[in-house]
Structure 1
Amino acid sequence: MASRKPEKTEIPVKPFTEASLFPHAALKSWKVMLPLLAVLVFLVWLGFRLNVDDRVIVGGAVLFGVLSSLFAWVIGVLGLIPFIGPLIVKVLAIPIIWLLNALGYLVSFIAIKRGYSKDVLTYRGLTIALIVGIIIGFILGHLI
């Protein structure tokens, strides 16, 4: 008697999707994130309208944006803009920009406590001009 090999039964393989690899990926859908962005903008507007303390509004917005991954989604949407979008995302991710800005806030805080508020305004204006110059230079350097 000849031995007969059993037929191979192939199990259908489902292709990997973002939702199967990352269960929380459903939250990254524009159908969810766009209304979340609208809610955040409305709550910030309402907070300013009702004269809520600025620190409470900013803290709540940052907490809401980080927990819902809204900021990452907005940066991802900005990255979809042809040519200039990826450059904007790269500039936002440059650590030296964040370091300069944080250092500026620290120095401003100390200077205001010591009574140099007019000098702080000048300093912050120069810092913002420097950061904007770095960003423009970075963008032009990549485009040329």
Structure 2
Amino acid sequence: DNLIFPFSFKNNRHLAPPGDKKLLMFLNDFSLTGVNLDANAKNLSVGQLQRICFIRGLLLSPEIILLDEPTSALDDKSCRLVEEMAVRLCMEQGLTVIMASHKGFESKGIKHTVIKIGDGRVKEIFNTGNDLKKAGG
């Protein structure tokens, strides 16, 4: 129920919820194969919940997805997985991903921009290429 929750909202009720096969595919893509579709969210780790939230957003087939600290509670392996999924979605589906993070992020093969913000203001903007290296990834 956690994954199909967005389909219960008034604005999304006209959308058909995905079937179990699609949900299981997403769980597999995000290394959540041990999570049962009927699992109670209270029994999942913070990292599992973060990946579930990412999947939940993707199920609505957005053009743009905003991820607020999607890797903050993840171990290094899961962090790389989420970052790689974001890159894959950009490349394969043309999805625009806006990701807020205190960690550095460097992707290969896609155009991206890093915006450094401090004290509520934009401090620096770095585009793909050499400038990105200066920004710290």
Q: Tell me if TM exceeds 0.5.
A: no
TM range (shorter): under 0.3
More strand by share: 2
Higher relative contact order by CA 8 Å / sep ≥ 6: 1 or 2?
A: 2
TM, length-normalised to structure 1: 0.22
Larger Cα-atom Rg:
1
TM, length-normalised to structure 2: 0.23
